[in-house]
Amino acid sequence: MSLAPAETDVLEVRNLKKYFPLQEKGLLRRTIGTIKAVDDVSFTVRKGETVGVIGESGCGKTTLGRCVAYLYEKTAGDIIVRGGGQVFRLDQLNRGNNSEFRKIVQVIFQDPFSSLNPRMSVLRSVGEPLLVNGLARGVELEERVADIIQRVGLSVSHLQRFPHSFSGGQRQRICIARALVINPQLVVADEPVSALDVSIQAQMLNLLKDLQQDFELSYLFISHSMSVIRYMSDRILVMYAGKIIESGSRDEILRQPLHPYTEMLLKAVPKVSKRMSQRLQDATSGEPPDLLNLPSGCVFHPRCPFAKDICREEIPQLQTVSDGRQVSCHLAEELTLQGVFD
Ligand SMILES: Nc1ncnc2c1ncn2[C@@H]1O[C@H](COP(=O)(O)OP(=O)(O)OP(=O)(O)O)[C@@H](O)[C@H]1O
Ligand code: SF4
Ligand SMILES: [Mg+2]
């Protein structure tokens, strides 16, 4: 993936690391290990683009998203966000001066049940970012909330109601309205449909696509499901144990995966219709690694059907194989892996 800074890059992430100290229980709470949740990750997101982040549970997707949204302080590396004619270096932000940044980057979380304050009406919940950022109040605020609430498929009659009276799908629509009401440029969507009933996941994904067009949004779209990622993404980052192990355009990744783990994720995808009318659980074989006790060499080798001696001994580096295409596998040039066609 090209890392040359471009004016069209809304987000530029370079060599990002986020490590969590593991502390022992008890009074002393000594540090007994380090979890490298995100370890030397670089990528860009262009204006209007959806970059999908895929990988199994614990590979670091949420940690990556939270660093980008400045909900976690990074351990090392650079995160640069461009929007609204400004350039934000996350190094230079602090808790007291991030309100301009918050207007540019918003987050949609997985769980629409815990994301909304149960004591706030829809009007207050969705209007709060406008009020807090000094963007609108009074009648203007009500008009902007009414507008966005209709764009997400709800009605103005819902504005005085409270979260408990909505279904999961409706609550996620409210969360999306709350994220978009201040016209952000980049939305980090962390498993935005995973908590929803399968029957409404497709509707919600289509809504996010429609809103992307209307608002010229860029998405960093996180999911453990290849079905969802392939449906939503322009480009795909495949994560394993805190690192990107393959990246490329959606079509390249789908048709010609270069890493055996990507092939495994693709094989786990059930057949789906074009409009995602049905989606089932994706399932891979073997267990994700223990981040505190990573295998030697290529960390995927215990699960890899192609592993050779070199794989157990040497760590493969992430190599650029063509413009916008990267992979870390010793055998990437020898293997012919199976993709999918759709
Ligand atoms: N606040 C934290 N403190 C300590 N460890 C953490 C913290 N947040 C995440 N981790 C660890 O970092 C690793 C990556 O977690 P993360 O939540 O980013 O994974 P994920 O890919 O989002 O997984 P999932 O698909 O289950 O949501 C895990 O080993 C997790 O236990
Ligand atoms: S480096 Fe070896 S073990 Fe790792 S993915 Fe490639 S072939 Fe498999
Ligand atoms: Mg997560």
* Structure confidence by residue, pLDDT tens digits, 124-161: 999 999 999 899 999 999 999 999 999 999 999 999 99
Residue 256 per-residue DSSP state: S
Token pair listed for 157: 């009659």
* pLDDT tens digits, one per residue of 295-313: 999 999 999 999 999 999 9
* pLDDT tens digits, one per residue of 78-102: 999 999 889 999 888 877 778 889 9
Is 50 exceeded by the pLDDT of residue 279?
A: no
Q: What is the pLDDT of residue 277?
A: 42
Residue 21's pLDDT band, with cuts at 50, 70 and 90, is very high
Contact of 45 with 99, CB cutoff 8 Å: no
Question: From ligand 2's centre to the CA of 19, what distance in Å?
Answer: 25
- Nearest listed ligand to the Cα of residue 190: 3
Amino acid (one-letter) located at 125: S
Q: Residue 330 and residue 317: Cα distance in Å, rounded? A: 8
Cα-Cα end-to-end distance for the chain: 23
Contact of 133 with 99, CB cutoff 8 Å: yes
Q: Residue 297 and residue 317: Cα distance in Å, rounded? A: 10
Mean pLDDT of 263-291: 70
- Residue with structure tokens 């399968």? 198
- Nearest listed ligand to the Cα of residue 334: 2
3-class SS at 251? helix
Q: Residue 152 and residue 176: Cα distance in Å, rounded? A: 7
Q: What is the pTM of this model?
A: 0.93
Other CB atoms within a 10 A radius of the CB of residue 331 amount to 18
Continuous segment of H or E residues that includes residue 204? helix 198-215
257 CB near ligand 2 (under 6 Å): no
Is 50 exceeded by the pLDDT of residue 121?
A: yes
Residue with CA closest to ligand 1 atom 18:
60
Is 50 exceeded by the pLDDT of residue 274?
A: no
Q: Does 94 or 317 have the greater pLDDT score?
A: 317
- As a whole number, the mean pLDDT across the chain is 91
